[in-house]
């Protein structure tokens, strides 16, 4: 039996990986549409809902590390199957939860674990192992663009389901829809990870790989930048629908705004991945973070109207998940692909800490001040800081001394 790592075709990897990310990311991007229906029906504060989603993002980050380790060791297929089942259970539990605690456990912890096993870190590990380095950044851009298309596709669908079936039935429908990930996972079943197969030998153990990464300044800079990415996008994604309604705009404007973010992010993420093959990825990242800060500033300065919301959403869409391909491609370029899902999981954990802070702080400060203004200002300042942090990143492959012996983690 050949031990060649490249048995899956690029078309198969991208088609199945993109479809999985479309479902998983598409469903989660619409969670902001449930904020007002659920809080009004359950008589909860916005902070209660925001805290559960904040826990979801933190849970996603924590479980993402272990999902990455498992995917690197046993293959993405098994992780995707488990993640899909958890996703369905979490959505059903979110619909049936009757107390803040059960809502936090289902919408928060369970869905966070589910997303860890069905999104970028796991799928990008397959891309890193199966696709030639010369096309890796581009391929990651395609997968990220699929997640954006999922947002464009699923947010209006979720809005329609809520409008026509009510928020509870809408969640139950989605809990069945997400199980479509299971048959798609078969397309990412990599040779060498099956029962009885021996994984490829690696020059580093898990501990060695982690020690090397966390001592490397560029890895720390990428993690810091990703913290800002999480803070900005999750705050906007969850709280902008309520921000717009508070200012007299209809819920349809919010649905269209989130859909526009998804539509334009298809182009933004693809472009970022393609450009990452040609120019320094650190410069792409610095530009994205600075452009976000400028876009938010202008959005707050101009009079709020449906037109200004749509322009802002389109611009933010171009910048939304466009950090994902260059960040993950840089990690692969520096450290190699043997532990890519795990290292990507740690970088993403930083993103999710930022997500936790953005979504929770939005709800907390709104309940305290009656306004989102302070959080908008924090998002601007963080964007400028992230742009500066990414500029010194060194993208060249790390030079390792030859180990005394290879290890099989």
* Residue 198 pLDDT: 45
Give me the architecture of the 10-191+206-390 domain, per CATH: Up-down Bundle (1.20)
* Residue 130 pLDDT: 87
* Residue 388 pLDDT: 97
* Domain spans, the chain: 10-191+206-390
State how far the Cα of 91 lies from the Cα of 99, in Å rounded to an integer.
15
* Residue 402 pLDDT: 56
Task: Supply the DSSP string of 191-248, one letter for each residue.
Answer: TTSSTTPPPPPBSS-HHHHHHHHHT-HHHHHHHHHHHHHHHHHHHHHHHHHHHHHHTT
* Residue 33 pLDDT: 86
State how far the Cα of 100 lies from the Cα of 51, in Å rounded to an integer.
9
* Residue 379 pLDDT: 97
Cα separations in angstroms, 187 against 102, 126, 181, 183: 35, 11, 10, 8
Tally of residues, the chain: 409
Q: What is the pLDDT along the chain (409 residues), one digit of tens a residue?
A: 344 445 688 889 999 998 998 899 889 878 888 988 999 999 998 889 988 988 998 898 899 889 988 988 888 999 999 999 999 999 999 999 999 999 999 999 999 999 999 988 899 889 888 888 888 888 888 887 877 787 678 888 898 999 999 999 999 999 999 999 999 999 999 887 755 444 455 677 888 888 999 999 999 999 999 999 999 998 998 899 889 989 999 888 988 898 888 889 889 989 998 998 889 999 999 999 999 999 999 999 999 999 999 999 999 999 988 998 899 889 989 988 888 888 988 998 999 899 889 988 998 999 899 999 999 999 999 999 999 999 999 988 887 765 544 444 4
* Residue 202 pLDDT: 60
In the block, residue with structure tokens 């996603």: 60
* Residue 407 pLDDT: 45
Best CA proximity match to 90, nearest among 117, 70, 65, 64: 117
């Amino acid at each position: 039996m050949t031990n060649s790592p490249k048995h899956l075709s690029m078309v198969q990897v991208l088609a199945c990986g993109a479809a999985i990310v479309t479902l998983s990311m598409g469903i989660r991007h619409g969670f902001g549409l449930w904020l007002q229906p659920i809080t009004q029906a359950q008589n909860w504060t916005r902070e209660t809902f925001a805290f559960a989603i904040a826990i979801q993002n933190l849970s996603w980050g924590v479980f993402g590390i272990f999902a990455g380790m498992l995917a690197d060791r046993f293959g993405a297929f098994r992780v995707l199957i488990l993640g899909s089942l958890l996703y369905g259970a979490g959505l059903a539990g979110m619909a049936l939860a009757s107390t803040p605690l059960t809502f936090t456990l289902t919408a928060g912890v369970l869905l966070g674990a589910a997303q860890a096993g069905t999104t970028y870190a796991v799928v990008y590990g397959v891309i890193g192992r199966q696709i030639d380095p010369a096309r890796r950044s581009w391929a990651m851009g395609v997968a990220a663009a699929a997640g954006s298309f999922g947002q464009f596709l699923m947010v209006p669908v979720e809005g329609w389901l809520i409008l026509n079936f009510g928020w509870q039935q809408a969640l139950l429908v989605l809990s069945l829809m997400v199980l479509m990930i299971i048959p798609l996972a078969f397309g990412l079943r990599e040779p060498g990870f099956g029962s009885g197969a021996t994984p490829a030998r690696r020059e580093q153990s898990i501990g060695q790989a982690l020690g090397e990464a966390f001592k490397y300044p560029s890895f720390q800079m990428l993690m810091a930048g990703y913290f800002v990415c999480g803070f900005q996008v999750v705050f906007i994604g969850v709280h902008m629908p309520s921000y717009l309604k508070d200012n007299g705009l209809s819920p349809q404007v919010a649905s269209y705004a989130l859909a526009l973010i998804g539509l334009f992010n298809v182009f933004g993420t693809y472009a970022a991945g393609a450009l990452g093959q040609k120019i320094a990825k650190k410069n792409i990242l610095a530009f994205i973070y600075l452009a976000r800060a400028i876009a938010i500033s202008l959005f707050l300065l101009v009079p709020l109207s449906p037109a200004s919301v749509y322009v802002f959403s389109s611009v933010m869409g171009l910048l939304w998940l466009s950090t994902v391909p260059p960040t993950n491609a840089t990690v692969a370029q520096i450290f190699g692909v043997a532990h890519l899902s795990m290292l990507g999981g740690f970088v993403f954990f930083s993103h999710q800490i930022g997500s936790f802070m953005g979504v929770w702080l939005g709800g907390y400060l709104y309940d305290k001040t009656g306004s989102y203004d302070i959080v908008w200002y924090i998002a601007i300042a963080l964007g400028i800081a992230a742009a500066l942090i990414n500029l010194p990143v060194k993208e060249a492959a790390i030079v390792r001394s030859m180990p005394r012996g290879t290890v099989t983690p």
